[in-house]
Every structure is written in structure tokens, then in C-alpha cells.
Amino acid sequence: MAQPEGEAVMTAPLPPPGDLAGGLPTPRRQRLTGKLLRSPMAATSLAILLLLTLATLLAPWIAPFDAHTGDITRALQGPGGEHLLGTDSAGRDVLSRLLYGGRTTLGGAVLALLVAVGLGVTTGLISGYTGKKFDLGAEWVNNLLMALPNVMVLLAVRAAFGSGVWLSMAVLGVLLAPGFHRLSRNIVMGVRNELYVDAARVSGLSDLRIMTRHVLNAVRAPLIIHAALTAVAAIGIQAGLEFIGLADTSVPAWGTMLNEALVNLYIAPLLMLWPGIALGLVNVALILFGNGLRDVLEDRPSRGRRKRAGAGRAGDRGQDAAQAAEPRGTKDTTAAPVAHAERPDAVLSVRGLTIGYPVPDGHKAVVDDVSFDVRAGEVLGLVGESGSGKTQTAWALLDLLPRDATVLGGSITYQGERLEARSAKERRRLLGTGIAYVPQEPMSNLDPSFTVGSQLADPMRRRLGLDRAAARARALELLDRVGIADPERTYRSYPHQISGGMAQRVLIAGAVSCDPKVLVADEPTTALDVTVQAEVLDLLRDLQRERGMAMVMVTHNLGVVADICDRVAVMRLGRIVEQNEVDPLFESPRHPYTRMMLDSVLEGKPPRTPLLKEPVGKEFAR
């Protein structure tokens, strides 16, 4: 492959690992209260809960009358005068009883919630993390508690020990604990074998530290929602028991007020309104606050944070962001820059792409000032070690970056049009017909609930407008083209009924089914054995040539690059350090990291000898 005339071999200096700091200065991490106040839903619900809580706590000082005494001559008076919300059948002030009643209703719900969370979450964490005998015993106890009818148990407790609200709410908390146990246990069982948990064990952290710091973070979001629902249920159960008269009527409570309002419903219907409003406000505020707190703790970014830099930082601001990500004091001004002018014949052009993730003092750039072009019928290989930023670059092309990723600068141009100028909906329309994707780990990318045929035909029916019969015929044709021996049987099969190699062929068929102009293949042979890898590479090469597609091949395998690619861009620490035609790059690499990668290849190496020569420069010392 001869190098085009006038085209320079592009290299860039290798930055030190610690210098890829984020490009956009952002304020320090806001305190939890600050984040809550910035969320309208959380702030409004929190204000309602604080107002009601303070009002009930300060009832002895702000209530206009004593909640236990009344004037029978003023019974059932309407709102107005001295009694702002009127009086009940005993002449007691409704507002005062509402304030004092909140202490009982809210306090009982808090007690039940604390007992449920304390028992359920603690046992759930231990059961999910340790398993074994403790898990068996805890599951048996929780199954027993879940089998008991809550209301009947509470009635039995009140019959045996009296109608005291605090004992009843403590018992209710024990009965509600299995919900927290099951939720936390199931989530912990899913994360206890994650690599970061193993790393924490190896680092010497105790099991208690791992559970409270690492594992609990995975449980907190659903626990917050469940806690809000449990608090609402506790309030409802308590108020319901008081409403049917199974409570101490001498103690003010919102449920007791509802009971009295029912007796006098036709004489003074407004008595039903005030405790009903209080209960409704608390329940709605609890649900909204639970959702808001969950979102704040999970630091879910808003839609505005995820907008590309081109929408709000076009021109100079996008350039400033890219420059801010450049490590200071380490740039080699004698090296030729990787960036170059866009080629007019390029189907896909990337210029100055910088992607970052939020850190306490700004953003951490994982892709820094990446530029390349891909022409129709050309295969570009993005090659580099794990963590070099090649997959993040591919995700940016597909508009599939994670929620917390931010495009700090640069542009992506498809067929002469900058994608950042399009809306998210318009960019999504390009997927499949304009830019397609072949992922790694094929078995994880097919939905086990649907047949292979439905997963191939549905996109064609939606994007190409084909009817069911035409989509089916095209799917069978594609399955035959990608080398499936029995297309009809595979079409009817579920993913678990086919092999990994067949699944990868199915994904390739799906990727080319809507005739894309650009195909992004992210490590498409990683999960396959050697013989199947070769077959899949042959298939990709043939399809690419038949359809004249531009292809971006993301890989760490130099053999794949040599076999299928026309050009190659070598990435390390988020930057392209060298870019050239395949043959010149393999024959005479310019950058030390490229030479190090080529020296790592096993082919031609004597056995039991060092794979690498001495480090080429200080930049490789670790």
C-alpha cells in the first residue's frame, strides 16, 4: 500500500500518564444540600417535608390552643375567627390537633422505617456478601415474616399489649424488614464478585469496610426508593388502624381525626379535608423526595450536561476546551501534530475529539484531541492497549457515550455534515442506515427473549420500510451471505441455541442489513476462537469490499490490523501517537510506542526470551 503523495506520516509526543487532566474547569463538587436545592423536584418535596416536620415539632409553642381540651359550646364550628380551621365535635381546635397529631403520625412512621431499614439492610448485606449458613437462616426468618399478615399481627399486638402507637410501629418495622432484606441481598449477590470488590479484598480492606463502602453504594439507589414507599405504607397502615377505631383516642393523630370526621361527615364535612390534605402532602412529598434524593446521590447528569461541545461551545470555545486538556509543560513542539485538514472525499472525519469524565476538580480526559478520516471503501484500524481510549472514540462516533461522559471539544463530520449540529433525534436516525456497529461479546448483545429472526427483521421493517415478508426474505438472504449453514433454522432460533461464532455472524448481518456507509467494529473477534476469528475477518473484508463501506476497526491485535486494515491510527493514553498506511507503519514505525507494540509481537521470537527490548524512553518506565 503506497503512501499517497504529499501525505505526511503523522506522529505525536507521548504524554505522561498523569497529565491528561480535564479540559473544562468546573466548580468543586457541590454539597448534598446544594445539589438537592438545585433539583426542583427534590427541593420542593424537601421544603414540604421540612415545613410539616417543623410545624409538628414546634406544636407546643405554635399551636393556638391545647389539643386535649375544648369548649363544647363551640363544637363543630366552621373555619374562621379564633379557630382558623374550625373545631371538632368536642370543641377542640382542629389546627392544634393537626399539629399535635403530626407528631404521632410522622413519629410512628419514622420509627417503623428505622427498624425496617436497620434490620433488613443489615441482614441483606451480610447474607448477600457472605452467603452460607447466615444466608440460609436469614432467608428462613424472612420467609416466615413475609407469610404473616401484617394487619392481623398488629391487631394481636394491640390486643395483648394495648393500643400504644410506638410498640405497634416497632412491630410493623419488623414486619416490613423482609422487603429491605430481599432487595439488598439480591443486589449484593450481583456485585460481590465484581473485579473492584476483589481488588478491595486484595488491598487488605476488611469485609465490613467493603460492605459499607463499596457494596452499599450499589444498593443505595433502589433502597432510597423502597424506603420512601415503605414510609408511605407505614403512614397508611397506622392511619388506617386509627381510622377504624383501633387506637388510643386520647392521643391526637391524623387517622383519629379522620375517624371523627367520618362520624360527623354530613354535619361538618370539612373535618375530613384537613387531615386528608396533610396525609396526601406527606405521601406525595415522600415519593418525590425519594426519587430526587436517589437522582442526586447517583449524580445523574442533566440533558444539558450531555450536549456536545459543538452545540454550546462551537468555534473558539471548542478549541479552548481541546487546548485545556493538553498537558502543560510536556508538549514537544518539534513533533508534527496529528491533526490535519479534512479530506473532501472522506465519508467520516473526526477533528480534535476530546472526551472527559467528571472528577472532583473538573474533567478527566480519556480521549484527547483525536483526529482521523475514513474514506469510502477504506478500513481504518484504531489500535492500542486497553484503556487507550479507542472504544470511547468508537462510542462517540455512534453517539453511545455513557451518561456521565462529556464531549469537551472537537467535531465529527459525516458525509460533509457536522453531527454536533444535528439534534439527538437526527443523530439517532443515522444509526443503522448511516453508521452501523459490530460489538464484541456477541452473546451479550443479542436479547435472549427474542428470536434471531425478529431481531434482524424488526430494524429493517422500521428503518427501510419493508413489510414483514420482505424483511424476512432479506434477513434469510443476509444469514446465508454471512455463512450461516441453515438460515431458516437460525432465523427461528433464540440466541442461546446458536454458537458464539454464529452469533457474531448474526450481528454482522444485522449491522449491514440497512446498507450503512460506515461500519464501526469494536473488537469483533475478541470472544471467538482462532479459526472463527479468521472466518469473521474474511467475512468483514468481503462485505466491506462488496458494499464499498468505510470501516473503523477497533482492536488491540496487530495481526488483525495487518490482515484487514488500509490505514492504522495508534492510540495511547487517549491520543493518537502515530497514523500512517499499514505497510509503512509496520516497516518503519516512527513513534517509540508503535515500535514497542511491534516488538511485543510473538511471531519470530525465540522461546523463553524477553518479549521486549529495553524500554525505548523514560515515558515507558512505570
Q: Is the pLDDT of residue 322 over 60?
A: no
Query: What is the mean pLDDT of the segment spanning 319-346?
Result: 45
Residue 621: its pLDDT value, please?
Answer: 43
Q: Does the structure show a pLDDT above 50 at 336? A: no
Mean pLDDT score, 89-96: 88
* pLDDT at res. 19: 41
Residue 114 clears pLDDT 90, i.e. is over it:
yes
Strand partners for 367: 355
Q: Is the model's pLDDT at 429 over the cut of 80?
A: no
pLDDT of residue 71: 81
- The pLDDT value recorded for residue 178 is 92
Kindly list the distances between the CA atom of residue 352 and the CA atoms of 19, 270, 325, 411, in Å, as whole numbers in the listed order. Answer: 17, 67, 11, 7
241-266 pLDDT, tens digit per residue, is 888 877 777 788 888 889 888 888 88
In this predicted structure, the answer to whether residue 54 has a pLDDT above a threshold of 90 is yes
Tell whether the model's pLDDT for residue 166 goes beyond 50: yes
Contact indicator for 409, 494 with CB cutoff of 8 Å: no
Sheet with 406-414: list strands edge to edge.
362-375, 346-359, 406-414, 417-418
| pLDDT higher than 50, residue 321 | no
Residue labelled with grid coordinates 377504624: 244
Residue 331 has pLDDT above 60, yes or no: no
Pick the residue with more confidence: 66 or 4? Answer: 66
Strand partners, 570: 383, 578
The span from the CA of 188 to the CA of 131, in Å, is: 10
pLDDT for res 174: 92
Residue 47 corresponds to which cell in the numbers above? 421544603
Question: CA-to-CA distance for 495 and 445, rounded, in angstroms?
Answer: 9
User: Which tops the pLDDT comparison, 558 or 337?
Assistant: 558
Question: According to the model, what pLDDT value does residue 212 have?
Answer: 77
49 neighbors 282 (Cβ within 8 angstroms)? yes
If one counts every other C-beta atom within 10 angstroms of the C-beta of residue 574, the result is 26
> What is the rounded (10 degree) CA torsion for 47, 50, 52, 58?
-140
pLDDT of residue 51: 93
The C-alpha cell at 390 is: 479507542
> At what angle are helices 254-263 and 94-130 packed, to 10 degrees?
130
pLDDT surpasses 90 at 312: no
Catalogue the E-assigned strands of 360-483: 362-375, 379-383, 406-414, 417-418, 435-438
Of 209-223, 270-284, 576-590, 593-607, where does the model show the most confidence?
270-284
Fold of 103-297: MetI-like fold (1.10.3720)
Residue 468 burial class via C-beta count within 10 angstroms: exposed 0-12, middle 13-18, buried 19 and up: exposed
Which letter does DSSP use for residue 399 in this model?
T
pTM greater than the 0.75 cutoff:
no
Distance CA 505, CA 460 (A): 17
Judge whether residue 99 has pLDDT over 60. Answer: yes
Report whether pLDDT(126) > 70: yes
Highest mean pLDDT among 228-232, 309-313, 402-406: 228-232
Is 119's pLDDT higher than 90?
yes
**Percentage of the chain lying above the pLDDT 70 cut:** 80
Fold agreement (1-23+325-434+517-587, 103-297): no
Which pLDDT band holds residue 610 (cuts at 50, 70, 90)?
low
The domain defined by 1-23+325-434+517-587 folds into Rossmann fold (3.40.50)
Residues 497-504, mean pLDDT to the nearest whole number? 84
Phi-psi category of 76—alpha, beta or left, where left has phi over 0 and alpha has psi -120 to 50?
left
pLDDT value of residue 200: 55
Q: What is the mean pLDDT of residues 32-38?
A: 76
Average pLDDT value over all residues in the chain: 78
Of 18-27, 108-117, 215-224, 370-379, minimum mean pLDDT range: 18-27
Cell of 326: 493538553
> Which of the two residues, 430 and 113, has the higher pLDDT score?
113
Within 10 angstroms of residue 70's Cβ, the number of other Cβ atoms is: 20
> Inter-axis angle of helices 216-243 and 270-297, to 10 degrees?
170
The pLDDT, as a whole number, for residue 158 is: 83
Q: What confidence score (pLDDT) does residue 340 get?
A: 52
| Most confident region among 11-25, 149-163, 167-181, 335-349 by mean pLDDT | 167-181
Question: Would you say 375 and 347 are in contact if contact means Cβ atoms under 8 Å apart?
Answer: yes
CA-atom Rg of the chain in angstroms: 33
pLDDT at 595 over 60: yes
Model pLDDT, residue 216: 80
3-state secondary structure 268-281: CCHHHHHHHHHHHH
Whole-angstrom CA distances from 448 to 437, 442, 451, 454, 498 are 19, 12, 8, 11, 11
Q: Residues of 354-366 as b/e, b for ≥16 C-beta within 10 angstroms?
A: bbbebeeebbbbb
The average pLDDT across 574-602 equals 83
**Average pLDDT of 529-534?**
73
Instruction: Classify each residue of 428-450 as buried b or exposed e, where b means 16 or more C-beta atoms within 10 Å of its C-beta.
Output: eebbbebbbbbbbebeebbeeee
| In contact, 438 and 519? CB cutoff 8 Å | yes
Domain boundaries, the chain: 1-23+325-434+517-587, 103-297, 442-513
